[in-house]
Structure 1
Amino acid sequence: MKRRLIIIVLIIALLAAGCSQSDNIAGQREKLLSDNTADIVVGVAWPFEAKNDGFREGLQLALEEINQNGAAGHQIKLVQEDDQSSVTAGLSVAQSFANNLEMSAVIGHRSSAVAVPASKVYENAGLLLLAPSATSPSLTEGGVKHVFRLIPNDSQLGDKMADYAKSKDYKNIVVFYANDEYGRGLANSFEDSAKANGLQIIDRISDYKDSDDLKRLVKKWRLLGCDAVFIAETMPDGADFIVQLQAAGLNVPLMGGDGLDSQDLLAIAGKEAEGVVVASIFNPQAADENVQLFVKKYRDKYGEEPRKYAAQAYDALHLLAKAIEKANSRSPADIARALREQKSWQGVSGARAFDANGEVHHMASVLKRVVNGRLEQMN
């Protein structure tokens, strides 16, 4: 509670400092960027040091491809900052980007907990934000004009997993979630959709004391007829929970959101992850020609398979470049208009179009299952 209060105070302080200048800053930005003769400056905020997961590599691959011909005839220049997955550091980065009047857009942040407050800073400064991984519905609330989400939100992913649970005839489900913006949002969405589908949530927890406490919970869940567990967590905590759950003796199907779609799930949980089903936004095994071309280029350049965040970074920069070309402008307002008017854009992670609030739609998510130590798409 104290930490959340500190975060709220930080946001209020930053907005209070910027509100009196926000119209002026946004106006100055638009005036400066109406000159379409200079390079296009794009900020990138990501926890590069601790949780890169191929994001920088996907970004660099896209940058090299785009700058061969440029976007609307101009080169894109990236300003990359590490937000440390911290609200404090993320808001500091956001303010520095907002103060850079030559910057047209920002790609980031990884965590919803950071992206949501940072988006308020960008919106006030008239700076475009493309959010490649934040799934909290609150990101696009409040009539934002400059914020665009590039993946399905928690509500969409929760619905997807609840539909899957119903199709498998699961009746009594336990929800384990991270007590943060991502975990709470996904857990709420899954629970609402599960109940609407006639499923019962027999327990919902975000923590437990130790292995003995977990064993006590498992015993209770068995008595309540638990036949599946939904995990709204990210790595490495999600994988750790799976290992501890198996050790506690609960042998039921496990499923989770996109936070579990990671090679770290396999590396940490090992054989305990076998059979786990997760929602995903990228399938490197897809037969689509553009996907396989991206996978080949990435593998040839970096010597490894692209992860979902590599694909998200690659798509984000290419999507931005396409919108800049359509708008023929560096102006955030013009680029935002081009994104909203776009009927559909096909990236390696799927097709994207945006509603009036900047929420992505018509983008399909996929289900993957851990089979023989590999995450494979389910039919």
Structure 2
Amino acid sequence: MVAHPLWLPIPCGCPSLVVALVVALSNRYKQMTTEKSLKIIGLITVLLICACNPYDDSKTERTDTAKESDLIIAERINTGKETTQELEPVVIGVAWANEDAHFVKGVQLATKEINDEGGVLGKPCADPPVPGRLLELIVEDGEKKALNSSLTLRQKQDITVKVARSFAANPRVVAVTGHRSSYQAVPASIVYQFHGIAFIAPTSTNLNLTDHRFNYVFRMTPNNKAIAKQLASYCHKKGYKKIVILHSKSSYGSQLADSFFSSFVKKPTEKEEPQTKIVLLRSFFSKKKDFSDLMVELKAAKKNDDFDAIFIATGADMAAMIYQESRDMGFKEPFIGAEGLDNLKFWEAVKEWEISEEVFTEKSVVPTLFNTTAKVPISQTFIEKFKKQYGFEPDHYAALGYDSIKILVHGIKKANSTRPFKIAETLRYMPACQAVTGKYQFKMDGDVRTRKFHFKFFRQGKFEYEETDFKDFLLAQQDCGNIDKDKDCIPNDKDACPDNTKEEISKGVYQKSKHTSPRNGKGH
């Protein structure tokens, strides 16, 4: 049993077991003090509520709703006839604080593409063609209330749980994407797990998201430990020997700082001096505004031991303030940040200073999964489509939003089902598929398998990217969401000729290969 606050769902047993437990507790604690009695009464109340509203009912209703729609379209495919029953859309929830954000636009673009192609689970090559089920988005921006800085963490999480429960209350919702921050995604994941909803967290990096090993929960971005390890490797490659670590006293900042420390500092042999070292390690509260004390300590560290770079683990707004103040104080060392700093606020501060190539020879760097300059067809196609649709360049949030829908659709198509547990099971065991932000394949706990970052920096008026190892960016064999590339109703992994054009298929002409076609036995 995972311990969690009372506002999170509590897994329930059978009502008879709960009643027995209530009776036992009542008999055992008749002589308790008032305070303890109240605690027991509270526990009994929770147990009774739990017994009356088991989460299995929610899962069952969601599964039955999805199964019913799956059977309707299966009957149409098998009989070739229309049915009187209406074909319901596949409903996906989107949790993001701003409906006009890049992330949401990326989600909407992917959804439009899929619907324009006929939706999912249909059979366009049948005679007559069987249209698929369209995707329907429910965008919930309730988390914008959590942007109020005066709220406590608990209050912000209460807002998130309310959003998650709104999706859970709708039995037509089979999957959810979004919840930008880890403090939102982690509690939301528990709601989705107990209600049986497939959940993809595109931007959550906190280790706790997958520590529970939930079978409905997946992350798209590597966790804080993996991010810190890659950043440490980058610093080693650049030849940085002495580093300053500055981090906020949050779970995000502490996880990154601790992981970076252990990855960066190389243990020397008995006769050697340390090859790398942390010359200053300082933390600060997340609401801090005045960083003059940090600047004093940086000056002292510079004088006493010098340093090559500053590793910073905090949010983009605070990182921008620290960066700006350090430059005002004359520090020219590069800042090394995590993926959360791939944000307009931070880059605006960097651009103001690092436009000077002579002064800032070593560039501040942020890891990203989205390389806008990479000559990868799927990425460049996405960029062009996004610009055509919205009139401006996509950022990494837009790319992650787009990819999250493509990954969910990949799971739906390969599972040939919209039942959430089937989608989740398929995603967990599927081979890697290629998306805009790289290859996706998941571990048993829902973590994304090894993903290498591009290291983004600003030089000569534009963004550039540096790779640590090009072999890590080899493309997967099929694109996420596209399991039948030539639309001949034979999945790519079973199709000896997956790249035929419509004209070739209509003429029975196949590409040359040592294989033979399973359709006509001829070479292709």
TM-score of the superposed pair, with normalisation by structure 1: 0.91
Q: Deviations over 1:100-124 (max 9, x none)?
A: 1111000011001110111111111
Higher radius of gyration, 1 or 2: 2
Cα deviation for residue 196 of structure 1 reads 4.6
- For 1:115, the equivalent position in structure 2 comes to 185
Structure 1 residues 200, 340: closer, same or farther in 2, change over 3 A? same
Q: What secondary structure sits across from 1:105 in the alignment? A: strand
Counterpart pick for 2:89 among 29, 36, 39: 39
Structure 1 residues 211, 331: closer, same or farther in 2, change over 3 A? closer
Tell me which amino acid in the other structure corresponds to 1:205. Answer: S
Q: Deviations over 1:139-186 (max 9, x none)?
A: 011221000101211111111100011122222211122333332222
Counterpart pick for 2:300 among 220, 225, 250: 220
What is the CA–CA distance in structure 1 between the aligned matches of 2:426 and 2:205, rounded to whole Å? 23
Q: Does 1:67 align with 2:61?
A: no
Q: Deviations over 1:23-66 (max 9, x none)?
A: 232223222222124211111101116xx641111111111101
What is the CA–CA distance in structure 2 between the aligned matches of 1:140 and 1:19, rounded to whole Å? 25
Q: What secondary structure sits across from 2:366 in the alignment? A: strand
Q: Does 1:15 align with 2:9?
A: yes
Q: Deviations over 1:219-272 (max 9, x none)?
A: 222123222111112322222221111112322121111111123323244323
Greater CA deviation, 186-195 or 13-22?
A: 13-22
Structure 1 residues 117, 283: closer, same or farther in 2, change over 3 A? same
Q: Is the 8 A contact 2:8 2:187 kept in 1?
A: no
Structure 1 residues 224, 299: closer, same or farther in 2, change over 3 A? same
Structure 1 residues 373, 230: closer, same or farther in 2, change over 3 A? farther
What is the CA–CA distance in structure 2 between the aligned matches of 1:245 and 1:310, rounded to whole Å? 31
- For 2:464, the equivalent position in structure 1 comes to 376
Higher helix proportion? 1
Structure 1 residues 12, 242: closer, same or farther in 2, change over 3 A? same
What is the CA–CA distance in structure 2 between the aligned matches of 1:19 and 1:361, rounded to whole Å? 36
- For 1:164, the equivalent position in structure 2 comes to 234
Counterpart pick for 1:315 among 371, 379, 403: 403
User: Which runs of structure 2 are paired with 1:180-195 in the superposition (5 Å)?
Assistant: 180-195=250-265
Structure 1 residues 109, 23: closer, same or farther in 2, change over 3 A? same
What is the CA–CA distance in structure 2 between the aligned matches of 1:297 and 1:26, rounded to whole Å? 37
Q: What secondary structure sits across from 1:221 in the alignment? A: helix
Q: Does 1:204 align with 2:253?
A: no
- For 1:57, the equivalent position in structure 2 comes to 105
Higher strand proportion? 1
- For 1:5, the equivalent position in structure 2 comes to none
What is the CA–CA distance in structure 1 between the aligned matches of 2:115 and 2:252, rounded to whole Å? 34
Q: Aligned residues, how many?
A: 369
Q: Is the 8 A contact 1:255 1:278 kept in 2?
A: yes
Q: Is the 8 A contact 2:291 2:322 kept in 1?
A: no
Q: Does 1:265 align with 2:327?
A: no
Q: Is the 8 A contact 2:119 2:135 kept in 1?
A: yes
What is the CA–CA distance in structure 2 between the aligned matches of 1:211 and 1:336, rounded to whole Å? 45
Q: Does 1:287 align with 2:375?
A: yes
- For 1:231, the equivalent position in structure 2 comes to 312
Q: Does 1:243 align with 2:343?
A: no
Q: Is the 8 A contact 1:115 1:131 kept in 2?
A: yes
What is the CA–CA distance in structure 2 between the aligned matches of 1:175 and 1:81, rounded to whole Å? 37
Greater CA deviation, 111-120 or 24-33?
A: 24-33
**Larger relative contact order, structure 1 or 2 (CA cutoff 8 Å, min sep 6):** 1
Structure 1 residues 153, 366: closer, same or farther in 2, change over 3 A? same
- For 1:3, the equivalent position in structure 2 comes to none
Structure 1, unpaired ranges of 5+: 1-7
- For 1:367, the equivalent position in structure 2 comes to 455
Q: Is the 8 A contact 1:214 1:248 kept in 2?
A: no
Q: Is the 8 A contact 1:172 1:228 kept in 2?
A: yes
Tell me which amino acid in the other structure corresponds to 2:460. Answer: N
Tell me which amino acid in the other structure corresponds to 1:203. Answer: L
Q: What secondary structure sits across from 1:104 in the alignment? A: strand
Greater CA deviation, 22-31 or 196-205?
A: 196-205
Q: Is the 8 A contact 1:266 1:373 kept in 2?
A: no
Tell me which amino acid in the other structure corresponds to 1:13. Answer: W
Q: Deviations over 1:64-113 (max 9, x none)?
A: 10112102121111111112253222111011111211110000110011
Percent of paired sites with the same residue = 34
